[in-house]
Amino acid sequence: MPETQTEPVQSPDREHESSAASHELRSVVVNYECRPDRRTVYPAGASGIERMSAWLTADANAFVELHAHR
């Protein structure tokens, strides 16, 4: 069974600080033994049903730290 970890991801949109909470994202990484780990990003406040239509998944190594690329 794959292992998972969850971490918050903040939206980089600083022009709308007042609505930053509505742009907060969560991230889950699923670790696999025989294939690349996968990261799924979804809205932090989304219910299970809402989350089914508002997520993005890709290989974990496709994501980078924002501060490292500015």
Residue pointed to by tokens 């600080």: 17
Q: Where are the domains of the chain?
A: 3-10+22-64
**Beta-sheet strand order (sheet of 38-43):** 3-9, 25-31, 38-43, 56-59
- Provide the pLDDT for residue 65: 87
**Cα dihedral: 15, 20, 23, 25 (round 10):** 120
Q: Do residues 26 and 9 touch, judged by C-beta distance below 8 A?
A: yes
Q: Do residues 51 and 41 touch, judged by C-beta distance below 8 A?
A: no
Average confidence (pLDDT) over 9-37: 75
Residue 23: band (very low, low, confident or very high) from pLDDT cuts 50, 70, 90: confident
pLDDT exceeds 90 at position 16 = no
